[in-house]
């Protein structure tokens, strides 16, 4: 087995310098933060809640690092010893179980070698703690605590983070909007930040820094910088999405004890798929307090224009064609591609030279597949009383979109 210790050896030095209080259990940090908040010790509450978020992100870093390492086809993860007769087996169930065992073995070794491995020995977050993290309720406690500590900007940023990650009408939306308005009216620094659109979403995906700079470059007419940042944003978006989805493989807390094992497995896969779909909202492109969950499409809109302004006609046309393929009903996308068609003719270029962005097509195809699996699972796994609450929206259209994209990629 190829060890990942060498890869992470430099992290050991960093790990050894991490204060021990940051490595305490998440349940302990939550309990102490919650108790401090209850007795009005907001400084202690903030300290514990911030440490909790840091520890949680360190744990997520460990999980995503190992899951990504063990999912790469070429990785030399732990190979289990099988009899020669079984090694060449073509039985689907056997091969699936063999791969599952090898990947589990890879994860086990990777967790042990990772510099943050101690975090895996901590108890899993209690249900109430995990719920506070997943629902971003922790930012509700933080915004009140920061306000009581007279730090209006951090209070506003925490409120803005909460609002950025939920939808209008969700529990807490109205109250948090009221609080943000309060901070605006009572802290000049917050009023300035809102006016200049500089509030920070603490949970914003990493790629957003390039996306934001790309939009700013576009607004300034700096098209070369726009292209540079948008290309980096697109590549990092795919990486961030993979990391987000790798955190979906967590054991559900509750199972119906009456269901048989295969039903349990199907239910687990359904929950993983729903979690992966939810990553689209977490990975939404964000700038100037505006969010867009159709990130690849949004980036391609900018790229096709900025490439054209740079006289890079083929690259611009590739972006335009890709956009036209993934949103066939978008009139603007179709009109832009038609415009590029005429531009290609003027430059004596052929449409046969166009190469749609395969990374975008692959991402969108998988997104359609996840949606289709979700609808299929809702029809087959839910109890009859639950089926009435499931909304069916053009399942045949999803199939057509998947097939069309696979054809474009020459996969069928």
267, 279: one domain: yes
In a domain, 332, yes or no: yes
- pLDDT of 385: 45
325 and 220 inside one domain:
yes
For residue 38, the SS3 value is helix
Residue 227 near residue 310 (C-beta atoms within 8 A) = yes
Tokens found for residue 295: 């990130």
Does 272 map to a domain?
yes
Same domain, 127 and 31: yes
Pairwise CA distance, residues 67 & 110, whole Å: 9
256 and 395 share one domain: yes
Name the nearest CA neighbour of 101 among 72, 85, 80, 87: 80
Last residue of a domain, one of 171, 195, 219: 195
Residue 90 belongs to some domain of the structure: yes
| Same domain (yes/no): 269, 402 | yes
The total number of structural domains that make up the chain = 3
291 sits in which H/E element: strand 290-292
Domain co-membership, 321 together with 337: yes
| pLDDT value for 220 | 94
Q: Which of 170, 195, 220 is the last residue of a domain?
A: 195
Question: In what helix (H) or strand (E) does residue 142 lie, and over which residues does it extend?
Answer: helix 138-148
- Tell me whether residue 222 is in a domain: yes
My answer on whether 178 and 84 are in the same domain is no
Q: Are residues 383 and 260 in the same domain?
A: yes
Closest CA to 229 of 198, 208, 203: 208
SS3 287: strand
Measure the CA–CA gap between 297 and 360, rounded to whole angstroms.
9
Q: Name the helix (H) or strand (E) containing 285.
A: strand 285-287
| Spans in the chain with pLDDT lower than 50 | 1-17, 84-85, 255-258, 384-395, 410-412
3 in a structural domain: no
- Final residue of a domain: which of 132, 152, 185? 132
Residues of the domain holding 160 = 135-195
One domain, residues 81 and 36: yes
Looking at the fold, whether 168 and 97 belong to one and the same domain comes out as: no
Q: What is the largest CA-CA distance in the chain?
A: 75
Q: Tell me, yes or no, whether 50 lies in a domain.
A: yes
29 and 101 fall within a common domain:
yes
6 found inside a domain: no
What is the per-residue pLDDT for 63? 84
Q: Specify whether 191 is located in the same domain as 266.
A: no
Asked if residue 283 lies in contact with residue 237, where contact means CB atoms within 8 angstroms, the answer is yes
Asked if the structure places residue 4 within a domain, the reply is no
Please tell me the predicted confidence (pLDDT) of residue 76: 55
> pLDDT value at position 75?
54
User: What's the pLDDT score for residue 122?
Assistant: 67
Question: pTM of the full predicted structure?
Answer: 0.76
């Amino acid at each position: 087995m190829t060890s990942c210790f060498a890869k992470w050896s430099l992290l050991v030095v960093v790990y050894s310098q991490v204060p021990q209080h940051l490595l305490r259990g998440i349940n302990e940090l939550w309990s102490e933060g919650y108790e401090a908040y209850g007795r009005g010790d907001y400084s202690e509450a903030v300290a514990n809640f911030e440490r909790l978020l840091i520890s949680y992100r360190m744990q997520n870093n460990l999980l995503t690092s190992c899951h990504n390492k063990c999912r790469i086809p070429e990785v030399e993860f732990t190979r289990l010893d099988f009899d020669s007769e079984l090694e060449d087996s073509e039985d689907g169930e056997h091969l699936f179980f063999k791969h599952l065992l090898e990947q589990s073995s890879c994860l086990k070794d990777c967790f042990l070698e990772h510099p943050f491995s101690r975090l895996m020995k901590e108890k899993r977050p209690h249900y109430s703690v995990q719920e506070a993290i997943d629902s971003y309720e922790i930012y509700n406690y933080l915004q009140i605590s920061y306000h009581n500590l007279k730090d209006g900007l951090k209070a506003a940023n925490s409120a803005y983070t909460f609002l950025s990650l939920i939808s209008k009408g969700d529990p807490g939306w109205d109250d948090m909007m009221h609080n943000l308005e309060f901070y605006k009216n009572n802290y000049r620094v917050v009023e300035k930040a809102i006016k200049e659109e500089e509030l920070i979403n603490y949970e914003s995906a990493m790629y957003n820094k390039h996306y934001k700079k790309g939009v700013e470059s576009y607004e300034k007419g700096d098209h070369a910088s726009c292209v540079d940042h948008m290309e980096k944003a697109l590549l990092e978006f795919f990486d961030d999405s993979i990391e987000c989805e790798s955190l979906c493989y967590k054991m559900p807390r509750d199972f119906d004890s009456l269901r048989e094992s295969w039903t349990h497995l199907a239910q687990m896969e359904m929950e993983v798929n729903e979690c992966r779909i939810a990553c689209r909202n977490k990975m939404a492109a964000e700038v100037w307090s505006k969010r867009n969950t159709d990130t690849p499409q949004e980036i391609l809109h900018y790229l096709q224009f900025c490439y054209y302004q740079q006289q890079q006609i083929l690259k611009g046309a590739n972006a335009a064609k890709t956009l036209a393929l993934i949103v066939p009903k978008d009139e603007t996308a179709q009109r832009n591609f038609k415009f590029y068609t005429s531009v290609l003719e003027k430059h004596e270029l052929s449409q046969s030279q166009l190469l749609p962005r395969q990374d975008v097509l692959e991402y969108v195809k998988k997104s359609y597949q996840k949606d289709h699996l979700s609808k299929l699972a809702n029809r087959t796994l839910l109890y009859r009383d639950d089926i009435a609450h499931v909304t069916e929206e053009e399942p045949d259209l999803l199939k057509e979109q998947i097939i069309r994209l696979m054809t474009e990629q020459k996969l069928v």
